[in-house]
Amino acid sequence: MGANARAMSQSLQGLSAQAREAKSWPFEQARILLARILRLRLTDAERDLAASLIAQGKAAQAVATFEALNRPVVFQCGFGASGLPHMGTFGEAARPTMVRNAFRALTEDAIPTQLIVFSDDMDGLRKIPDNVPNHAMLEEDRDKPVTSVRDPFGEHESFGAHNNARLRAFLDGFGFDYTFMSSTQTYRSGRFDEVLLRILARFDAIQGVMLPTLGEERRATYSPFLPISPTTGRVLQAPTLSRNVEKGTIVFPDEDGTPTEVPVTGGHVKLQWRPDWAARWTALGVDFEASGKDLVDSVRVSNKLVKVLGAEPPEAFHYELFMDENNQKISKSKGNGLTMEEWLRYGAPESLAYYMYQSPKSAKRLYFDVIPKATDEYLQQLDAFNRARAEGGNAPAIDNPAWHVHRGEPPAKGSPVSFSLLLNLVSAADASTKDILWGFIRNYIPGATPQNEPLLDRLSDYAIHYYEDFVKPSKSFRAPDAKERAAMEDLVGRLKALPAGADAETIQNEVFEAGKAAGFEPLRAWFGALYEVLLGQSQGPRFGSFVAIFGVDRTIDLIERALKGELAGD
């Protein structure tokens, strides 16, 4: 166990009582998973004793008493290696990780766990992704296993290896604790041989589950085995003409129609994806897998196949799908929605994990405009966690999203400035570098430096990138109407009358009073006018905080320029 793992394990001690009462969805799933482990691995009498020990915070004693509890609880997620990784891919790893961490807290890390990230890189390349180069070359390799398709980027030995490397680099960068498995390597190494032979022996029962789910035409030729042509190397949708259980082989028509015999073991065939899912769960002993709601029927069918194979299906958790800016499902072949690299240009990894955590049962848009809101909500949750920690008590706020985002160890410090406020500061100051931005920050927070405010420093980078790419091109200033002009003139007078060093709350009160005196009802119309006239956008931060960090004198100058028509170009 590495130093980070040991530190996390220590941080989980003493949390089992709180974990049993926690309301957040990862803890709900963790409790269901624990019940499964006790049910499947222990007798009734053993289960009652183990459950009692765990409930008393004595999970280590339960594991020491029952050897069956010392086997890892296996979490799994899949990756479709026929396209570049996208945000949905990251969510497939992030959500089971959150359940895994909740399970570790529930059992005080006494029962070992493992997250397998499984790449389906033996799938045939059926569709050419829109967002990759060298389509003609990929077309030549169509239907070959992705790990046999040449890399269109020319960087790795195959397209599958390229996509696997992209996935692993991001997961490693975020600090995920996982075991990577390649479908190609797993089939070829013999890891699946036993279950493949079992499928061959129970072929008719497998067909009995699968055929009713298919259309009439597909039923006529369907086989759970997809042979890989010895002549072309392509993954074939070919019928099984005959099978020999003793030899462990099938006969299928090759691409030219020639009857060809191959073993079902050793990587000569792969399985259709529903039998493949069932085989994977069986061979790897998977206990938990999360998947999108579009796969509910597939999970149901695969569960039946697992039982045909004599195993127990994993606990399933279904989440809603992400949509792009047009409310279309994100697709790896279309390349719509956000890539991991794009999110990380404009937002912190923590904000991404927070977005994956919140409301997994609700559909959410996954586009650029969600990043600022997700970032600020994450910062608010982190501040709330740290307030609770500072107020004392024996237990951390384990239902707080920050606990799940940081795997039980949220940092003791967030950012003293919100992301939306930074965005508007960049906008008002036309700050093109962090040096300009930090000039304002130091005046607002004496003694602040990039070294002692590392999160704020990172947010400054994200804010500049986001402003340059999305805010600046769409800025549209307007002139104030007569009512707004009078209110802004009043506000200038109020700001000039403020004592030196007035804080954000004092400034905000004067902004409120100027809006009230002008008769704005509701007051958000007044703030909307300030944003549109002064910043060229429809929304903004708490205005008093903006003035405090931007500077009273600079704000007065900004308002006066707007009143002269210099911002709107009158």
pLDDT truncated to tens, each residue of the chain (570 aa)?
A: 444 555 555 566 678 889 999 999 999 999 999 999 999 999 999 999 999 999 999 999 999 999 999 999 999 999 888 876 777 777 888 999 999 999 999 999 999 999 999 999 999 999 988 889 999 999 999 999 999 999 999 999 999 999 999 888 878 888 899 999 999 999 999 999 999 999 999 999 999 999 999 999 999 999 999 999 999 999 999 999 999 999 999 999 999 999 999 999 999 999 999 999 999 999 999 999 999 999 999 999 999 999 999 999 999 999 988 777 777 776 655 556 677 788 889 999 999 999 999 999 988 888 888 999 999 999 999 999 999 888 876 556 899 999 999 999 999 999 999 999 999 899 888 788 899 899 889 888 889 999 999 999 999 999 999 999 998 888 889 999 999 999 999 999 999 999 998 999 999 999 999 999 999 988 999 999 999 999 988 887 789 999 999 999 999 999 999 999 988 764
- Number of DSSP helices (H) and strands (E) in the chain, helices first: 26, 12
Question: CA 113, CA 161: separation in Å to the nearest integer?
Answer: 27
pLDDT value, residue 335 = 56
pLDDT value, residue 394 = 53
Q: Using only the alpha carbons of the chain, give its radius of gyration.
A: 29
CA 471 to each of CA 311, 429, 464, 535, 539: distance values in angstroms, whole numbers, following the listed order: 54, 13, 10, 10, 11
Question: Cα 564 from chain centroid?
Answer: 47
The closest alpha carbon to 77, from 27, 117, 24, belongs to 117
Peptide bond into 450 cis (omega under 30): no
Tell me the angle at which helices 349-357 and 87-106 cross, rounded to the nearest 10 degrees: 70
For 151, what's the count of Cα atoms within 13 Å in the CB-facing half-sphere?
13
CA geometry: angle at 292 spanning 291 and 296, to 5°? 85
Question: CA 174, CA 305: separation in Å to the nearest integer?
Answer: 35
pLDDT value, residue 395 = 55
Question: What letter represents residue 308's amino acid?
Answer: V
CA 59 to each of CA 21, 89, 466: distance values in angstroms, whole numbers, following the listed order: 17, 33, 47
Q: Round to the nearest angstrom and report the end-to-end CA distance of the chain.
A: 66
pLDDT in tens, 420-465: 999 989 988 878 889 989 988 988 888 999 999 999 999 999 999 9
Tokens of residue 492, six digits: 């200038």
Instruction: Count CB-CB contacts under 10 A for residue 45.
Output: 8
pLDDT value, residue 56 = 92
Tokens of residue 83, six digits: 């396209």
pLDDT value, residue 1 = 43
Tokens of residue 421, six digits: 């406020």
The closest alpha carbon to 128, from 157, 158, 159, belongs to 159
Q: Which residues contact 163 (CB under 8 A, 6 or more apart)?
A: 79, 81, 82, 83, 84, 85, 119, 121, 146
Tokens of residue 121, six digits: 């890189």
Question: What letter represents residue 305's amino acid?
Answer: L
pLDDT value, residue 2 = 46
Question: Cα 168 from chain centroid?
Answer: 14
pLDDT value, residue 13 = 64
pLDDT value, residue 431 = 81
DSSP for 207-267 reads HHHHGGGS-HHHHHH--SEEEBPTTT--B------EEETTTTEEEEE-TTS-EEEEESSTT
Instruction: Find where tokens 């996390």 sit.
Output: 8
Model-wide pTM > 0.85 = yes
Quick one: which H or E segment has residue 261?
strand 259-263
